[in-house]
Amino acid sequence: MSSLVKEDLEKKLFKPLSQNLYEFIEIEFSVQDRYYLCVSVTKNEEVKIIMVKHYRIGLDEKYEVTKKWSLNDLRMIDGKEADTDNPFFDLHFKKVYTLEAYSCASKYAFVRTVNKLNHAYLKKDLRIVNFDSTYINDDSIWSSNNKDCLVLMRICFYAFSLVCFSLCPLSL
């Protein structure tokens, strides 16, 4: 489903704006409509964070840009609580925007993409606080192209290690 939405967003909104869509997540913003938080790069290599409203007119899917920011203006991303499964986070521009991602995994996927694009294009000191850095940085051993599996992979690794250690004979 999400790949179809991404393809539709690219075709109807980002390609006409001459931008490449790198990541989008669904956010809880309104009860009636769907909203997406998108990260794109213009052909001038400017990274944009865009809030998009998704609605239908008859059978036709429509997308409307409701807010647009430059990554250069982003001062900080606050994940609220790194120790809990929490979908809330703040984007600090001149104003602070409190957002709720659809899931904690999608919140981390968004922040990983912003961090990666910051290193690739801006190389500025972007403060990312109250996130588990293990899941944010690409140099982590837990990095993966399938980022939704990071937590599951880590749990499996620990479970496997516990089984191996419990089966090892102890010599006294």
135-152: buried (b, 16+ CB within 10 Å) or exposed (e) per residue? bbeeeeeeeeeebeebbe
pLDDT reading at 169 higher than 80: no
Q: Is residue 58 part of a domain?
A: yes
User: How does residue 85 score in pLDDT terms, banded at 50, 70 and 90?
Assistant: confident
Write the CATH number for 12: 2.30.29.90
Residues of the domain holding 82: 2-139
Q: Is residue 33 part of a domain?
A: yes
Q: Is residue 103 part of a domain?
A: yes
Say what the pTM is.
0.77
Q: Is residue 162 part of a domain?
A: no
Concatenating the DSSP letter of every residue in 54-118 gives EEEETTEEEEEEEEEEEGGG--EEE-S-TTS---EEEEESSSEEEEEBSSHHHHHHHHHHHHHHI
User: How does residue 151 score in pLDDT terms, banded at 50, 70 and 90?
Assistant: confident
pLDDT score for 150: 67
Listed in sequence order, the residues at least 6 apart from 4 whose beta carbon sits closer than 8 Å to its beta carbon are none
pLDDT score for 3: 84
Q: Is residue 167 part of a domain?
A: no
Q: Which amino acid is at 129?
A: V
User: How does residue 155 score in pLDDT terms, banded at 50, 70 and 90?
Assistant: confident
Q: Is residue 149 part of a domain?
A: no
Q: Is residue 29 part of a domain?
A: yes
Listed in sequence order, the residues at least 6 apart from 168 whose beta carbon sits closer than 8 Å to its beta carbon are none
pLDDT score for 74: 97
pLDDT score for 146: 55
pLDDT score for 145: 53
pLDDT score for 98: 94
The C-alpha R_g of the chain, in whole angstroms, comes to 19
Q: What's the token pair of residue 89?
A: 């986070």
Total domains present in the chain? 1
pLDDT reading at 45 higher than 80: yes
pLDDT score for 148: 54
pLDDT reading at 21 higher than 90: yes
Concatenating the DSSP letter of every residue in 1-62 gives -HHHHHHHHIIIIITTTTEEEEEEEEE---SSSEEEEEEEEETT--EEEEEEEEEEETTEEE
Half-sphere exposure of 60 (CA within 13 A, CB side): 4
pLDDT score for 12: 93
Q: Is residue 62 part of a domain?
A: yes
